[in-house]
Structure 1
Amino acid sequence: MPEAPPQPPLRTEDFDFALPEGLIAQAPARPRDAARLLVVRPDGLADRGVLDLPGLLQPGDVLVVNDTRVIPARLKARRGEARIEIMLNRAEGGGLWQALVRNARRLRVGDVVEIEGAPGCTARVVERQDGGSALFDFGPDQAALAAALEQAGEIPLPPYIQRDSKPGAEDAADYQTIFARHPGAVAAPTASLHFTDQLLAALDERGITRVPVTLHVGAGTFLPVRDEDPRAHRIHQEWCEMPAASAAAINTARAAGRRIVAVGTTALRTLESAAAEDGTVAPFRGLTGIYILPGHRFRVADALLTNFHLPKSTLLMLVSAFAGTRRMRGAYAHAIREGYRFFSYGDGSLLFRCDQDLSE
């Protein structure tokens, strides 16, 4: 048998593109399901709308949705006269939180900081970490911490969404999905932001079912890849769960020849983290640092609903792995020409998996 041809080298610059600033969405479509939808199939592109989704899918398809809930994770704090900003990133259990810190150089292990706007709420520095991060102990009373976050925390909007002041009540509602159940994310699983009661009812009527998974999106989702070779990039870990009932439903559907549609890259990463070589998924609960690049063999999902991602991002590389690098490059060029809205509050795309020429 002849040897497979060598794969072309991966270069971060191949996942770059120029985006007019005016195409960065600053607010969601209203209603949410009025967003546009670019359909990307192996045989071409089609301009549709999110409300067309039921007709683009088949009865029996299973949507896998992420039911994480965004927390008001940005906190202002003081250590004496020193002011710092804490961005909670990942719960480590027992009141411990890994966090990104602005002015981290002012902190030492053992320091206790006071959270502004939440009297009595303090956190002790347990460990200083690389990259301006630290591990904080907020104490075992999680209910008290949740109350303090609601009182003093801010919804951590992505840096490309501009506000004259801090995010308000409208953003707190806009940046939460209809599926949100389990608090812990510091960024929304944005593909799910398009769903409304009206759309869910139409999907139900079409015979399309859905199952939940949980992946608490971390702040690292916004970090660009800075290495020339993306394989050198160090990806962040995030907590995720594949419930037993969801795993059983997915396995039953696949055995019956029904399609699995991941709603968002977070749902797709959870599926791949829980998948065996034969494509079956097992219940899973813990951290995942799965890093998907072109050349990856997907084992579960047949289609992916996702938004348009940042240049040089791990998520753009993931969707290129799923639908083909050349195909996604063409899809993004088309989206820019046609005025699609990009990033978290922007329009969506429906990608059908391409198992051939993934690196082209």
Structure 2
Amino acid sequence: MNVNDFDFELPKESIAIRPARPRDSARMLVLNAESQLEHKSVLDLADYLTSEDVIVFNNTRVIPGRLYGKRGDAKVEVTLHKRNSATEWQAFAKPAKKCRLNDILDFNGLSAKVTAIGEAGERTLQFNVEDNAMTEALEAHGTMPLPPYIAAQRAVDNADADDYQTVYAAEDGAVAAPTAGLHFTDRMFEKLKEKGVKQATVTLHVGAGTFLPVKVEDTKDHKMHSEWGEITPETAALLNDTKARGGRIISVGTTSMRLLESAADEKGIIHPFKDDTDIFITPGYRFRAVDILMTNFHLPKSTLFMLVSAFAGFEEMHYTYKTAIKDGYRFYSYGDSSLLFLKKDA
């Protein structure tokens, strides 16, 4: 499909630069099973689920993956993208021409060597620290990697350390938050428990590539950056048992969905998974695992808007987003939520 088919006008004032407070006070626009819109709150989520369902969360934890430093006298900015090993990372660099092969970058005492340059210009960095000291080094020298559409409007501050992290984050490795999960609180979990909804966790370490613009004209020419994910055998068994009993899988976020769809076979059986995925979902894709998707509002012409258009319908999502803009919903990572039901002929 033509990438321009996924474009829409978004006023700057629709972009949220701070989250709702409390987290669970965010709005939720529901596109239900009859393709009708309902204006709700994220606190109403449990009303749409039953004790036969299972809701899936991505438990990745965002690390302070943006680093500011120098190569000699030249200033450089690096955003970590994907971990190759404990101390080796793929990264995006600005300006890239200042980060040449074998250059040594200094981030105020934390140093790294450029050991490779990828086809798309990303750098591979080998950090000069012990394996077990990498997380501590990033905590000391890095900052929260807020998305560019927020970072362009304000500086990162102490509040972001909590705001840009889900309350259930457990596994270090993401450099972008699984933002649908930012709305969850103890109060929301209690509502799910009262309803008898089962819960499961998967891990997908979200990379900065999620924010890269699609630069091709046709979606078939776009190459996704890969991300590492894991679904344990126990989780796969729970999900398959749920489906076999007639229950539904509710994915909290596109990150959970991409991992679940990567692990599902043609018959819809979800297999244990521990690998990279670069799955790219566009209209025409046949969904195998997920029945309901909770997700924030995404950028025009982004791979994520393409994904939700594949899931809930191309025309339906354009209408949903037009309605959200008109009715003042807040967009992107710190914005409001949507709850989308799979379009049966999507």
Q: Shorter-chain TM-score: which interval?
A: over 0.9
Q: What is the number of residues matched between the two proteins?
A: 345
Deviations 1:263-292 (A, max 9, x none): 000000000111111111111111100000
Question: In the alignment, is residue 103 of structure 1 matched against residue 92 of structure 2?
Answer: no
SS in 2 for 1:268: helix
Q: CA deviation at 1:132?
A: 3.5
Report the counterpart of residue 76 of structure 2 in structure 1: 84
Q: Give the match for residue 64 of structure 2.
A: 72
Residue number in structure 1 paired with 2:269: 280
Give the Cα separation in 1 of the matches to 2:175 and 2:321.
Answer: 26
Three-state SS of the structure 2 residue aligned to 1:239 is strand
- The answer to whether structure 1 residue 40 and structure 2 residue 40 are counterparts is no
1:138 to partner: Cα distance = 1.3
Report the counterpart of residue 14 of structure 1 in structure 2.
5
- The structural deviation recorded for 1:302 is 0.7
Q: CA RMSD in A?
A: 1.4
Tell me the residue number matched to 1:7: none
CA deviation string 1:76-95 (max 9, x = no partner): 12222222111111000152
Cα distance between partner residues in 2 of 1:106 and 1:162: 22
Q: Are 1:338 and 2:335 matched, yes or no?
A: no
Q: What amino acid sits opposite 2:16 in the alignment?
A: A
State whether residues 52 and 246 of structure 2, in contact with CA within 8 Å, keep that contact through their aligned partners in structure 1.
no
User: Is residue 196 of structure 2 the alignment partner of residue 223 of structure 1?
Assistant: no
Measure, in 1, the Cα distance between the counterparts of 2:100 and 2:4. Answer: 38
The yes-or-no answer on 1:25 pairing with 2:16 is yes
- In 2: Cα distance, 1:214 partner to 1:141 partner: 25
Deviates more, 1:137-146 or 1:225-234: 137-146
Equivalent position SS for 2:17: coil
Gaps of 5+ in 1: 1-9
Q: 1:353 to 1:57 in 2, by over 3 A?
A: same
**1:248 counterpart SS class:** helix
Shift of 1:136: 0.9
| Counterpart contact for 1:94–1:139, Cα < 8 Å | no
Q: Is the 8 A contact 2:93 2:99 kept in 1?
A: no
Alpha-carbon separation, structure 2, partners of 1:226 and 1:164: 23
CA shift for structure 1 position 162: 4.4
Give the share of equivalent positions with the same residue, in percent: 49
State which drifts further: 163-172 or 19-28.
Answer: 163-172
Of 72-81 and 250-259, deviating more is: 72-81
2:85 & 2:74 partners in 1: Cα distance? 28
Residue 338 (structure 1) shift: 0.9
Q: Distance in 1 between matches of 2:11 and 2:154?
A: 24
Which of residues 47, 56, 62 in structure 2 aligns to 1:55?
47
2:162 pairs with 1:173: yes
Choose which of 190, 210, 213 in structure 2 pairs with 1:201.
190
Q: Deviations over 1:53-110 (max 9, x none)?
A: 1111112210111000001001112222222111111000152100001122123322
